Amino acid sequence: MNLQDLFSVANLTAAVNKLPAIPGKVGAMGLFDEKGVTSTTVIIDEREGRLMLVPNTSRNDDPAPVKGNKRKRRTFETLHLPINRPLLPSQLQGIAAFGQERATAPMATVINDHLQDLKNSIEATREFQRVGALRGQLLDADGSLLFDLFDEFDVKQKKVTVPLSNPETNVRKACLDAKRHAESKLGGVMVTGFRAFCGPDWFDAFTDHANVKAAFANYQEAQDRLGGDLRTGFTFGGIEFIEYDVTVSGQRFIPADIAQVFPMARGVFRLFNAPANYNETVNTLGQPFYSKAEPRKMGKGWDLEAQANPLALCLFPEALVELKVG
């Protein structure tokens, strides 16, 4: 393989997609149905169907009429997340491989090291977008609003303040009410469970509440006997509460005093990948990551770029419930 082939879009894109992803709780759950699209826009076709009870009638009568479902179409623009850095001749010349003093590191290894650094930032951003979809609001890197899914789908956001400082608060009922609300909005969607990502202030106040403390202590004792890890989640009131204390570039993924409740269900959360803005990728099926390089002026190295073009969506934002410490 010659040098130019090594820096081709096909080879670099294949390389960056094979690199390991940064671990992320949402990405690891496999909650989002991920697919590539051939354009930079995604059209969501909504049908406001409903269930109905069918009356008993004589076999000689006509069946009960059913009104046609209302349809709405919404168009979303995928995000464009590029990041780049220079790869200078000095970074490729005479670099020893790790653990070896004399052997020169293969050029592909140096390139992959740089691609991994770029991919780490993109993967963290993709996780940030997934969490945004779980909360119903997609934010940019500076915290500004990109999409408010409640406004886009013309539904109300469900927020509940739970007075965890009051020992008389029925916390279990608050959890059950959150589930009931979500279930009522999901219609016929098959739900396998509920989870909540918690900020540290919520998690501490929640597990310290009198009505939760005993259950949490018993659960912790059982997990300790089994060699378990409480960081994987604690179930109360039918909801698995997981602390998610992550901050990147000053942006906290989950507010400290919030528990974001969401359903575990197929078809509710989607992640679309659009093609990169390269000549070679026009009208092709989008991939999670892309990378490309071009020679710098006077042949002084290469400019290396990685990018992703995702769109994370919750198709039932009205089923998301935010619990806040009161």
pLDDT tens per residue across span 199-222:
999 999 998 999 888 887 777 776
- Rounded Cα gap, residues 266 and 97, in angstroms: 45
Report the alpha-carbon distance of residue 284 to residue 289 in Å, rounded.
Answer: 13
Which carries the bigger pLDDT value, residue 21 or residue 235? 235
The CA-atom distances, in angstroms, between 124 and each of 118, 197, 200, 248 are 10, 17, 20, 8
Give the pLDDT score at 269.
97
CB 210 within 8 A of CB 172: no
Say which CATH topology domain 3-45+73-325 has.
phage-related protein like fold (3.90.1690)
Task: Report angle CA 265, 267, 199 to the nearest 5 degrees.
Answer: 50
Cross-strand bridge partners of residue 74: 44
Please give the structure tokens belonging to residue 35.
Answer: 């697919």
- pLDDT confidence band for 41 (50 / 70 / 90): very high
Element (H, E) at 302: strand 302-308
Band of residue 61 on the pLDDT scale cut at 50, 70, 90: confident
pLDDT at residue number 19: 84
pLDDT of residue 176: 97
Structure tokens given for 311: 């769109």
pLDDT number for residue 237? 93
**72 class by beta-carbon count within 10 Å (0-12 exposed, 13-18 middle, 19+ buried):** exposed
pLDDT of residue 96: 60
In the chain, what is the straight-line distance between the N-terminal and C-terminal CA atoms, in Å?
63
Tokens found for residue 49 = 């169907």
Residue 226 pLDDT > 60 = no
